[in-house]
Amino acid sequence: MLTSTFVHIPGVSWKTEISLWEQGAENWYAFLANPERFRTGSAGAKRIQQALNESLQHLEKGEHQYFRKRLPAREAWRVFPEFRDSLIYLDIETCGTPKNEVTVVGAWDGQHYFAFVQGENLADFPDFLSHYSVLVTFFGSGFDLPVLKRTFPHAPFDQIHIDLCPTLRRIGLRGGLKSIEKTVGIERSPATVGMTGYDAVLLWRKHRAGRSDALPLLLEYNREDVRNLEPLMEHAYSTLRRLVYEELADPERFQSR
């Protein structure tokens, strides 16, 4: 979907983007094959042509920062296929006090789960993060990322961020992560079903008090949090692509969601 995107170009609105699709510019390559044949509004064919050539160069090099700066945050979901090999799903657990100290950072790359635990390897997280181009969270804009940025003030956090909370809301899926999981048919393991963020806080306290079974259960809970983000991301992407691109949704109505 990224290579069918034009709204990252200054002067190109959602209306202009849909107009270009309707005219046959279904992707960057179609436009670049004959820029002058398309009505481009105030943006101008030459400006779009230059921007698309620049976009292709940055995409070929995997330079996600270019798109992070130019793509509207609500359209970050569009980078999913192109950057999937450099994407992680992320979720944190905290101590539950006003300080919101990070106890666990969990990450899933589509194949492996990684856990960074306070008192063990939490300090390794910034280096791990630097190897990825895209972060996917659920309500990370309001919680996970602000907490992580306070915890690791020198980490760049220059990745493209896809926050599934507002992204899923655009396709009618509202509420917390676990209620949305139920709506789309994602099941939790018997060991963690019914657990909440507060249970994660209690498990951390039990771990600190010496309970040997507390940390493994906390990590299992966190692992399910991040792994379940992957099918939700896939669902959000396929649905939004169909609504925005294949069905050419009315931009004023759809972008207000």
Each residue's pLDDT tens digit, 167-187: 999 999 999 999 999 999 999
Each residue's pLDDT tens digit, 113-157: 999 999 999 999 999 999 999 999 999 999 999 999 999 999 999
More reliable by pLDDT, 147 or 256: 147
Each residue's pLDDT tens digit, 26-62: 999 999 999 999 999 899 999 999 999 999 999 999 9
- What are the sequence ranges of the domains in the chain? 2-61, 84-235
84-235, CATH topology level: Nucleotidyltransferase; domain 5 (3.30.420)
DSSP string spanning the chain? -GGG--TTSTT--HHHHHHHHHTT--SHHHHHH-GGGS--GGG-HHHHHHHHHHHHHHHHTT-HHHHHHHS-GGGGGGGTTTTGGGEEEEEEEE-SSTT--EEEEEEE-SS-EEEEETTTTGGGHHHHHTT-SEEEESSTTTTHHHHHHHHSTTS---SEEEEHHHHHHTTT--S-HHHHHHHHT----TTTTT--HHHHHHHHHHHHTT-TTHHHHHHHHHHHHHHTHHHHHHHHHHHHHIIIIIS---HHHHTT-
pTM for the whole structure? 0.94
